[in-house]
Structure 1
C-alpha cells in the first residue's frame, strides 16, 4: 500500500512538473493566436489584407513580434526595423530559408519539395552576386534598352490603350529568358510564359490538387515549365561538353552555372539547375513587372511627378541622339529612381520573406521554438508614421540624401540578406521607364481601379492606360 501511495505521489509530482515547465515554455512564446485548426489565420489574412491583418495584431499583441499560423505553420511575425535587422542578420545561425510547401510543390522537382530550400537559395545568391556585379551589369544595359525599344514599338506604339500589367510582364519575362539563358525565340518564350502564367494564377490559391482547381493547373504548369527548361539545359550542357565555343562561352547565368561543381567535384545536376532558374524566372516574372506597373500608375495619376521624370529622361534622350543607353546614363536618372523607390514603399512587389527556425532562440524576451517559421514583412514599416512622416503622401524626396532609417525600407530585404537582384531590377525599371516616358504621356482609363494586396499586389483590371504620344 505504501509503495502504491509512493508511486502515485511520484506520478502526481511528475505530472505537475511537466505541466509547470510546459506552461512556462508555452507562456514564453510570442503572444498571438493560432486561429482555426489546419487553416490557422490564413482566411483572416486574405480577408483583411496583409496591411490590415498585421496592423491589427501589432496593436493587439505586441509591437516587436507576435505569433500567428499561416500555410498550416506556426509562425512568428517580426515587426519594425529591429525585427527586420534581426532576421536579415541571423540566416546561418538560427534560421534557414523556407518556402511554403504548396509553393515548392508547384515550382520545383519533388526532391526539393520535402527538403530545405536553403541549398537552392544559397546557390542562387552566390552566383547571382557574381554575375550581377556592376561590371557585369554594365553589359546588360544596351540589351535591356534594345529589347525595351522593340517592346514599345510592338506592344505600345499605335495603341490608344494598353494594359500595363500584362505588357510589362511580357517585357520582363522576355528579358529574363534572354539574359539568364540566351533564349529569345518568340515561340519558345511565349510557351514558357504561358506555363508560368498557369503557375502564378494558382500558386497562392487554396492548395487542393484536384482536377479543375487553380492549384491543380499550377501543378501542371510547373511540370511543363520544368520539362521545357530541362530541354534547354540539357542541350546547352551538350554544347559545352562538345566544346562548341560559339555556344559554350556565353556569359549568361545558365552557361556559368553549368560549369559549377559540388563539394565532390561533380557538375551540378540539370534538375538542380532547373530548380534555380525557376526561382529566378519566378522572381523576374512577377516582382519586377509589378514594380514597373505601379511606377506607371503613379506617373499617370500625378502629373507633377510625371513632368519631372519626363524632363530628366528627355535630357538624357537628347544627349544620346539615338544611341543605346549606357551605365553612365542610368546614373543620371536620380529623380526617376526616387519615384520608383517611393512606389516600392507604397506598393511593394512582395510581402516579405519566410525563414525556418533550426534551433531555439530568444528575441524581445520571447522564445521562438525550433520548427516554427518566421516572417519579415514590408508592412510593419513602409506605412508606419514612426518611420515615414505622412506615409499616405507620395513623396519621392524621402529618398534624397541618406534616405530612410536603415531597415525601415525593405522591398529588397536588407543587410546580408539584401536581394542580389536589386541592382538588376533598378536597371530594368529605369530603362523601361525611359522608353515609355520619352514616347508617351499616360492617363488611367479607370481612376478608381482597385489594387488587391495579398502576397503579391495586383491591379484588378490590369491597369489600362491611355497613351498620348508626344509631339515631335
Structure 2
C-alpha cells in the first residue's frame, strides 16, 4: 500500500512538473506581447524549455512517420493552418496550409529569411539563406544567367548527357549490386563540380564529396557544437570545404585573366561586377558555391533515385514515360549528337513524373522566415521577431489540395498549372530556388537514358525509409542496374 501511494504521488508530481515547466516556458516567450497580442496568437504548444517541440519533431521523423508531428497539432487544436511552437531554439509559428504559405513567401517586407543557426553557419552567412532582400536580389541577378540561362544550360547539357551515358554503362557492365542513391549522389556531384569548378581531379572531388555529405547531415540538426553531435561534425566538414575552395580561388586569382579562359562558375563569380563595379569577396564566392552545391547536387540525386524507383514500381507509368522518350529519339536527326534543349522541352510526361516525385518525396519539407513586424494571417498573429516555419510537406500531402495524396500519380499534373502556393519544392516568390531549371535538366537527362535502356532491381524493395536530413531508403537503395535494350542509339 505504501509503495502504491508513493507511486501515485510520484506520478502526480511528474504531471505537475511537466505542466508547470511548459506553462512557465510559454509565459516566458509570450508575456511581453501583452494581453491583446497574446490572445491573437495561434493555438499550439511551446513544449519544454530549451527543447520545445524538437523532441516530438525528431521522434516523428526518425520513427518513419514524419506527418505525425503536424498531425498532432491538427488533432489537438483543429485545422487552423497556423500553430505556435518553440522550434530550433526560437518562438515559432508553423504555417501548414497553401494560402498561408503563399502569403508569407510573397511578402518580402514583412518576412525575411530566418533559417536556423545550424543551416546559416554551415551553408555560410554570405549565402542566399542569410542575405537581406536587396543583397539577395543583387547576387541572384549576377548569378542567375550562368546557372539557368539558355546559353548556360546548353553548354552544360553536353557534359551532363555524356556523364549519364558513361555512368549507366559502367554500372550495368559491373554486374553487381550498388547503393543506387550513393552512386547517384556521386554522379550529380561530378556534374555540379564540372559546372562550378572544372578541372578538379578525382581525388579532390572525392574529398569534397565526402566532406559535403558530412556537412549536409548537420543542416537540420540542433546547433550543439559538442563532439558526438551532427552539427559539430558538420562544422569540421565546412572548414575542410572552405580550405579547398579557398586554395582553388587563390590559384585562380594568382593566374589572373591571362591564366585561363572563363569556363566555369567560379571564374564567372571572380570576374562578375555589379553596376557600381563592385566585385565579390572570397567568402561571398565560397558561400555561394556551397549553397549551389546543395541545390544542384543533393536534391537532384535524391529525386532522380526516387523517380526511378517509383516508375519501376508502377509499370503503367514507366511504359508511358518510356514511350514518350522513344518518340523523342525517333525525331532526333541522325546528324545530332546527344540531346539538346529542344528535346528536353518535349519531355512533357516525364516532367509530370518529376513534379509528382518532388511533391511526394518532399526533399525540402520545410522553410524558414522571420517576421519584421506584426503580421496577421487567418486572423492569427505572427509577432515581430518570431520565426515563421513553412511546412511544405503538409501542403503537398494535404488531401484538400491533392486528392489521395499518398498515391503516386503523375496524371494529377495534366491540365492547368497548380495554384500558387500549392506546389513548393523550390519555394515561391523572389527567393525561388535559383537552380531549379538546372536540377530538372539533370534529372530528366538521367531518366531519359534509363528509360530507354536499363532496369533497376532492388535488393530490399520494402526496406524502411529514413527521413532526415532527406527521405531515403536505409540501405541507400541497394540494387542492380541491368542493361535491357540498345535501342536508344547511345
Q: Per-residue deviation at 1:203?
A: 3.5
Q: 1:470 to 1:65 in 2, by over 3 A?
A: same
**Contact 1:54 1:379 (C-alpha < 8 Å) held by counterparts:** no
The answer for the alignment partner of 1:332 in structure 2 is 346
- Would you say 1:126 and 2:138 are equivalent positions? no
20 and 369 in structure 1: CA distance in 2 versus 1, 3 angstrom threshold: closer
Q: What CA deviation, in whole Å up to 9, does each residue of 1:10-52 have, x standing for no partner?
A: xxxxxxxx98971222122222111111111011011123422
Match of residue 412 from structure 1: 426
Number of the residue aligned with 2:211: 195
Q: Give the 3 Å change call, closer, same or farther, for CA 171–298 of structure 1 in structure 2.
A: same
Aligned to 1:83: 100
* Residues 214-233 of structure 1 aligned to structure 2 (within 5 Å): 214-233=230-249
User: Residues 19 and 71 of structure 1: is their aligned pair in 2 closer, same or farther, counting only changes over 3 Å?
Assistant: closer
Contact in 2 for aligned 1:442/1:467 (Cα 8 Å): yes
Q: Flag the 1:441–1:318 CA change in 2: closer, same or farther, 3 A.
A: farther
Residues 270-281 of structure 1 mapped to structure 2, 5 A cutoff: 270-281=282-293
Deviations 1:260-297 (A, max 9, x none): 34686442111111111111112223211111111011
1:158-195 CA distance string (max 9 Å, x none): 23422221011011111111112224422211111111
Distance 1:180 1:212, change over 3 A: same
Change (3 A) 1:414 1:21: closer
Contact preservation (8 Å) 1:449, 1:459: yes
Query: Which residue does the alignment assign to 2:121?
Result: 105
Note the C-alpha offset of 1:446.
1.4
3-state SS in 2 of match to 1:75: strand
Q: CA deviation at 1:471?
A: 4.1
Matched, 1:435 2:449: yes
> Do residues 179 (structure 1) and 195 (structure 2) align?
yes
* Cα-to-partner distance string for 1:425-444 (whole Å, 9 max, x where unaligned): 11110001122222212232
Question: 1:160, 1:468 within 8 Å by CA — same for their partners in 2?
Answer: no
Do the aligned residues in 1 keep the contact of 2:217 with 2:469 (CA within 8 Å)?
A: no
Q: Cα 1:406–1:69, aligned 2, differ >3 Å: closer, same or farther?
A: same
The whole-number CA distance in structure 2 between the counterparts of 1:190 and 1:329 is 32
Q: Following TM superposition, by how much is the alpha carbon of 1:73 offset from its aligned partner in structure 2, in angstroms?
A: 0.9
Aligned to 1:70: 87
What is the number of equivalent residue pairs in this alignment? 447
The answer to whether the Cα contact below 8 Å between 1:351 and 1:455 also exists between their aligned partners in 2 is no
Aligned to 2:156: 140
Over 3 Å counting, the alpha-carbon distance change for 1:365 and 1:432 in structure 2 is same
In structure 2, how many angstroms separate the alpha carbons of the residues matched to 1:352 and 1:164?
A: 26
Closer, same or farther: CA 452–169 of 1 in aligned 2, 3 Å: same
What is aligned with 1:357? 371
Q: Contact (CA 8 Å) 1:192, 1:225: kept in 2 or not?
A: yes
Q: Distance in 2 between matches of 1:428 and 1:39?
A: 39
Contact 2:126 2:288 survives alignment (8 Å): no
Report the Cα distance in structure 1 between the residues aligned to 2:247 and 2:403, rounded to whole angstroms.
52
Task: Please say if residues 98 and 118 of structure 1, whose CA atoms lie closer than 8 Å, have aligned partners that are also in contact.
Answer: no
Q: How far apart, CA to CA, are the structure 1 residues paired with 2:139 and 2:299? A: 16
- Segment drifting more, 312-321 vs 391-400: 312-321
Deviation digits for residues 278-319 of structure 1, max 9, x if unmatched? 111122232111111110110221122112222222333454
Q: CA contact under 8 A between 2:292 and 2:435: conserved in structure 1?
A: no
2:67 is equivalent to residue 55 of structure 1: no
Normalised by the length of structure 2, the TM-score is 0.84
Deviation at 1:79, TM superposition (A): 2.4
Question: Corresponding residue for 1:426?
Answer: 440
The 3-state SS of whatever aligns with 1:401 is coil
Tell me how far apart the structure 2 counterparts of residues 38 and 290 of structure 1 sit (CA, whole Å).
Answer: 33
What is the TM-score normalised by the length of structure 1? 0.87
Partner in structure 1 of residue 3 of structure 2: none
Q: Are residues 102 and 443 of structure 1, via their aligned partners in 2, closer, same or farther at CA, if it must alter by over 3 Å?
A: same
User: In 1, Cα distance between the equivalents of 2:280 and 2:428?
Assistant: 29
Q: Is the 8 A contact 1:124 1:276 kept in 2?
A: no
Which of 338, 362, 372 is residue 386 of structure 2 equivalent to? Answer: 372
- Go from structure 1 to structure 2 and tell me whether the alpha carbon gap of 1:244 and 1:69 turns closer, same or farther (over 3 Å shift): same
Label 1:465 to 1:189 Cα distance change in 2 as closer, same or farther (>3 A).
Answer: same
Cα deviation, residue 99, structure 1:
2.0
Greater alpha carbon shift after TM alignment, 440-449 vs 170-179:
440-449
Segments of structure 1 that go 5 or more residues without pairing to the other structure are 1-17
Equivalent position to 1:304, from 309, 316, 320: 316
